[in-house]
Chains A and B, each alone.
Chain A
Amino acid sequence: MSEKKAMRLELLSLTKAYPGCIANDAVSLQVAPGEIHALLGENGAGKSTLMKMIYGVVKPDSGQMTWNDREVNITGPAHARQLGMGMVFQHFSLFETLTVTENIALYLTPAEYGTLDLLRARILAVGDEYGLAINPDRLVHSLSVGEQQRVEIIRCLLQDIQLLILDEPTAVLTPPEVAQLIEVLKKLAHKGCSILFISHKLHEVNALCDKATILRGGKVTGTCIPRETSPGEMARLMLGDELELQDTMPAGNAGECLLALDKIEVKPRDAFAIHLQDIELQLHAGEILGLAGVAGNGQDELVDLINGELGSDSGSLIFHGKDIGNTSVQERRNMGLGVVPADRIGRGALGNMSLTENNLLTSYINQTGKFGWLNWPAIKARAAEIISTYKVKATGAEASAKSLSGGNLQKFIIGREILQNPNVLVCFHPTWGVDVGAANLIHQELIKLRDKGAAILVISEDLDELYLLADRLGALCGGRLSPLAPKSAVPLAQLGQWMTGNFGTLSTGISTDTAAAEVAHAH
């Protein structure tokens, strides 16, 4: 349709194959100047590979690329940057032990920034211009995820940018942050910068993007104009016809209280830990409690506390009417308290061990046979059962955990915990970086487990997920817990307020100013 109009970026039949899979199969795509173009697709559909080829991180096997109507052969990220491309990665490409200014300096050439002091001033200026406030002297690991993303965006804006690529930028943001990001992107597009926006979230694509290209299994399955296409239609293009997506889940039926946290306080153990204060919650059989919150507001500490890695300084932790504050992780598992940690590799599974061995790691059901001898056939059968029941895509029970994609490994870990029939299951980011199909399966399994009478605590930053799963909702902010209320009584705006520490009229006398300040990290 736009043969004569100049194109910012045009891909013609890009192909990239890895051993065992074709990541991108003859992908073509056009982006006009000032256009916000969405790239939709499940995990493993080849979006990230495509982005990396455009940005020069990996080289295509075949195909052509034109930039401002001239054919280019991008030799590496530095070359891409020279052409005027910027990229915000999904897993941020920041160095945590360096300051904001140092990180940005590494991204630019000395000719572009002069001295660090000059650069510092420019960071503040660009931050002002686009409403992206940041303190240039802070170490990156002390920033929240949203702020880290800001750093990535600012460093793209410091160069003469013509195309900004964002890999799932909203996955980790709170609703106000998402709204702010959308404003920034619209401002940029208005100035003529093209934007390539990768996302799972259809309503955002609908709200923001001018055009969308949909990938499935490495191939383009369609292009559309999001404003004129229903989310259902886009989901069908993404997932194929076979999958039925559910918008609502049946409500739970809360029973007796299984796990209670009573006025828990955990003092920070190091400079970066969050001080948990006055944590009071009751988790009932047959319900899912959802906790929202921006990363780094006490979620890690809360999960560690329940799991038994962290002891409380005051208050009590009551499981089935018994104080378990002094029991070990192992004892808690034996009682039926399961935890799915946020990081799959490292906490949830050991990357170099096989799925069979990983299955054994958290098992509180005796799989060992007598006198501590391992019963390998039984252990293997169990791993195979998890793989088949939860449709884990792996080469077999002997595949190493790290060979699985994030979504598949998460299915395996959740399956491993669910198959042990826990009384209480804590899920920390159950579907982070997991594609729509796998997330759907995980959600259904959690609902099934709940309906069998388990109490489930879901801690997530994905608000859609919380609204879909939870029976009651709350939020963590600055180590304090908001009031908990039934889902129907918590509109999104209310939850958003709770996430920023404004615990509203139900507040128990907490100064909202200090809590909000902790979130905003005002400098």
Chain B
Amino acid sequence: MDIGLIENILFAMVRTGTPLLLVALGAMMSERSGVLNLGQEGMILVGAACGFIAAYAGGSLGLGVLAAVAAGIFVSLIFAFIALTLISNQVATGLALTIFGTGLSAFLGAAYVGQTVTGFAPIAIPFLSDIPLIGQALFAQDLLVYLSFILFAAVFVVMRYTRLGLIIRAVGENPEVAHALGYKVMVVRYCAVMFGGAMAGLAGAYLSLAYTPMWSEGIAAGRGWIALALVVFASWRTERILFGAWLFGFASILHLLLQGYGYEISPNLLAMLPYVITIIVLVMMMYRQKNQGLFAPRSLGQPYHPLK
């Protein structure tokens, strides 16, 4: 393999990993606050559909991204209202949200199937993009990929170094105590869920406006579920989420590559590769740290009844 091929692989790895990274960061934030939202897939789809429609009709990619984020937040608010305010079962509500989102996006996008827009184009950053090996992958991407880097850094800093991160962790660990200390559990959880919705919407926009700038039904293709699994295997740690997302991206490219090289393996089996590799690697990482606890937020998925 020559350098150019490796550069291409790394470039594609980051591109493929980006939507997973975005969704997983949002899901992690929401789970850290104690809310398990299984509706990620639905939120991505609605975000992708609304983003595409807005960009197509409005003629502006920026408008599309805003619409996708707004749609993601809106759908996550439906979840938050049912699961947090009405205290329903979070798992069932999340599953329902995915089904709802799948249907809604298909309905909204029905007239746009097969249409295309001019998607986000890569912007090479001078000098940095000339760095051998990683230059192309990190500094010759489109705006949304750069945005994902910024969001990753922001989430990392917030969770590790700020009081806000401490409060989110506290609410997810023990909401009753957090309430007794005077923190607004509901506000924190609503905000965390909405952040998750915004991130899923953004991931949707990335899919329909940058990755494959077109609308097709079910464009999320299970990425919401992979992202949810990623959060668990990454033990709710921001840096591992980045690693896992890019690993998945790498394995996705690898299977295309292997097919390209003409290996006599069924493409269906090869298509499993990213899932299998990502899960095996992350499980191995989890196994190594089993003696230190898995860092699952303690109140994850449990309903919280505010005292009156």
Contact = CB atoms under 8 A, between A and B. Distances in A.
A400 to B, nearest CB: 15
A98 B292 contact: no
Nearest to B169: A98
A79 B179 CA distance: 13
Contact of B177 (A76, A94, A97, A105): A94
B57 interface: no
A106 B166 contact: yes
Contacts of B148: none
B308 A58 contact: yes
Interface string B152-182: 0000000000010011011001101111111
Nearest to A76: B182
A81 interface: yes
Contacts of A59: 308
Nearest to B293: A97
Nearest to A82: B182
Contacts of B177: 93-95
28 contacts: A52-B307, A57-B179, A57-B180, A59-B308, A76-B182, A77-B179, A77-B181, A78-B181, A79-B182, A89-B180, A93-B174, A93-B176, A93-B180, A94-B177, A96-B173, A96-B174, A97-B298, A98-B166, A98-B169, A98-B170, A102-B166, A105-B163, A106-B166, A106-B178, A106-B181, A106-B183, A110-B163, A271-B292
Contacts, number: 55
A107 B307 contact: no
Nearest to A55: B180
B291 interface: yes
Nearest to A81: B182
Contact of B169 (A79, A81, A94, A95): A95
Contacts of A79: 182
Interface string A75-89: 011110100000001
B307 A58 contact: yes
Contact of A95 (B163, B174, B307): B174
Given A98-B170, A110-B163, A270-B291, A93 B181 contact: yes
- In this complex, the interface size class of chain A, counting residues with CB under 8 Å from chain B, is 20 to 34
- Chain B CB within 10 Å — which of A89, A106, A110 has the most? A106
A105 B308 CA distance: 26
A95 B179 CA distance: 12
Contacts of A95: 169-170, 173-174, 177-178
A95 B176 CA distance: 10
Contacts of B167: 106
Interface in A62-80: 76-79
Interface in B235-264: none
B287 interface: no
Contact of B173 (A77, A89, A98): A98
Interface in A478-521: none
Given A95-B170, A106-B170, A78 B291 contact: no
B295 interface: yes
B291 A271 contact: yes
Contacts of B181: 77-78, 93, 106-107
A94 B163 CA distance: 16
Contacts of A81: 182
A78 B166 contact: no
A273 to B, nearest CB: 10
Contacts of A57: 179-180, 307
Given A58-B307, A93-B176, A105-B163, 11 more contacts: A52-B307, A57-B179, A78-B182, A93-B174, A93-B181, A96-B298, A98-B173, A106-B166, A106-B167, A106-B181, A270-B291
Contacts of B174: 93, 95-96
Contacts of A105: 163, 166
A150 B182 CA distance: 21
A97 B292 contact: no
A110 B167 CA distance: 12
Nearest to A110: B163
Contacts of B183: 106
Contacts of A271: 291-292
Contacts of B293: 97
Interface in A329-377: none
Interface string B70-86: 00000000000000000
A271 B294 CA distance: 13
B180 A97 contact: no
Contacts of B166: 98, 102, 105-106
Contacts of A270: 291
A93 B177 CA distance: 5
Contacts of B176: 93
B182 A77 contact: yes
Contacts of A76: 182
Query: Considering the complex of A and B, which 10 residue pairs feature the smallest CB-CB distances, nearest first?
Result: A78-B182, A93-B177, A77-B182, A95-B173, A95-B170, A93-B180, A271-B291, A106-B170, A57-B180, A76-B182
A110 B174 CA distance: 21
A165 to B, nearest CB: 12
Contacts of A94: 177
A78 B167 CA distance: 14
Contacts of B182: 76-79, 81
Contacts of A77: 179-182
A400 B178 CA distance: 27
Interface in B30-44: none
B169 to A, nearest CB: 7
Interface in B7-50: none
Nearest to B174: A95
B112 to A, nearest CB: 46
Nearest to B292: A271
Contacts of A110: 163
A170 B292 CA distance: 31
Interface string A110-121: 100000000000
- Chain A CB within 10 Å — which of B166, B167, B177, B181 has the most? B181
B26 to A, nearest CB: 22
A251 B145 CA distance: 77
Contacts of B292: 271
A97 B295 contact: yes
A89 B179 CA distance: 13
A236 to B, nearest CB: 33
A271 B290 CA distance: 10
Nearest to A102: B166
- Chain B CB within 10 Å — which of A78, A93, A97 has the most? A97
Interface in B62-96: none
B166 to A, nearest CB: 6
Contacts of B179: 57, 77
Nearest to A80: B182
A199 to B, nearest CB: 20
Interface string A256-293: 00000000000000110000000000000000000000
A93 B170 CA distance: 11
B307 A97 contact: no
A79 B182 CA distance: 8
Nearest to A92: B177
A52 B307 CA distance: 11
A270 B291 CA distance: 6
A58 B308 CA distance: 6
